[in-house]
């Protein structure tokens, strides 16, 4: 994993509306965006960043690229990821929402075969406060510190980051793993990464109803982690039987063989209780639980 000011970042779909909006914001934050890729725009520039028609052309001109951030439309994501992997880029952040599931399966198979880290789809990306912004996080909400944040939600991630910052608790890294049903990197993978990260002293896991991501994460924390973890589950007050949240999360709990209880707030809270992980009742309570965890550590 290489998310530092010394890494080289490429943006695919740099001239798409969202890409064009966030490229200058990432650049202003200090993110080393060295090029953008948008077919038909080769030879032009976006806020001083050279544009290329192909990822291969960018790599030929600029040398190896560490990370690509993808803003292309859903049905172009598969080709964009395969193009990046072919150019030996092994950190891929998929901002795009609603990638066709079979496309996601195919790109993840290729990513696994090439040891490529995929964050997303449907993610705000990653921010290492004070160093790099890789996606759509509002950087003013964050400040450097010892708290690692992992989340399935986009806007809720920002809220938690702001609550921590206001309480004087900075963040080591904030990762949105994505909201689509089929995802690249999981809570478990990032928990392992943060367990080994010297800058992270405590981890905040932000989950939501639907799917079994949180249940699996709770088991992993109980079995494999030494660092303290604090959790929050969104959707606890949602009416029972009423599907809410990300479309992917809704579908997840309906898959045959999973069981009707998996994916409910009760199931997730019970999993965290078994793993002895403190759970905040609301986002504003998270800083208090983090401070307690730091004091005990």
The most distant pair of C-alpha atoms in the chain lies apart, rounded to whole Å, by 57
132 closest CA partner among 46, 69, 39, 77: 69
Angle (CA) 199-203-206 rounded to 5° is 140
Kindly state the tokens that stand for 58: 């960018």
44 vs 282: CA distance, rounded Å: 47
Which residues are annotated as catalytic? 246
138 vs 142: CA distance, rounded Å: 8
What is the CA 60 to chain-centroid distance, rounded?
29
193 vs 179: CA distance, rounded Å: 20
Q: Side-chain half-sphere of 15: how many Cα atoms within 13 Å?
A: 13
């Amino acid at each position: 994993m290489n998310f530092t000011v010394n890494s080289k970042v490429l943006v695919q779909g740099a001239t798409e509306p969202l890409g064009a909006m966030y490229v200058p914001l990432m650049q202003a934050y200090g993110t080393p965006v060295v090029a953008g890729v948008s077919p038909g725009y080769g030879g032009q520039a976006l806020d001083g960043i050279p544009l290329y028609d192909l990822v291969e052309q960018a790599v030929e001109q600029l040398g190896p690229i560490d990370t690509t951030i993808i803003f292309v439309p859903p049905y172009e994501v598969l080709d964009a990821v395969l193009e990046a992997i072919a150019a030996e880029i092994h950190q891929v952040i998929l901002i795009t929402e609603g990638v066709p599931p079979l496309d996601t399966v195919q790109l993840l198979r290729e990513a696994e075969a090439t040891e490529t880290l995929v964050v997303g789809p449907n993610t705000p990306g990653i921010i290492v406060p004070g160093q790099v912004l890789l996606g759509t996080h509002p950087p003013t909400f964050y400040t450097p510190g010892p708290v690692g944040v992992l989340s399935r939600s986009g806007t809720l991630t920002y809220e938690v980051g702001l609550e921590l910052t206001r309480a004087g608790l900075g963040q080591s890294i904030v990762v949105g793993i994505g909201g689509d049903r089929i995802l690249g990197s999981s809570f478990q993978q990032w928990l392992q990464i943060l367990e080994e990260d010297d800058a992270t002293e405590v981890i905040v896991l932000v989950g939501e109803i639907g799917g079994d991501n949180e249940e699996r994460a709770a088991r992993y924390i109980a079995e494999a982690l030494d660092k303290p973890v604090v959790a929050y589950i969104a959707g606890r007050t949602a009416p029972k039987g009423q599907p809410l949240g990300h479309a992917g999360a809704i579908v997840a709990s309906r898959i045959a063989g999973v069981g009707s209880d998996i994916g409910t707030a009760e199931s997730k809270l019970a999993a965290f209780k078994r793993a002895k992980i403190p759970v905040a009742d609301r986002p504003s309570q998270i800083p208090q639980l983090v401070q307690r965890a730091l004091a005990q550590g």
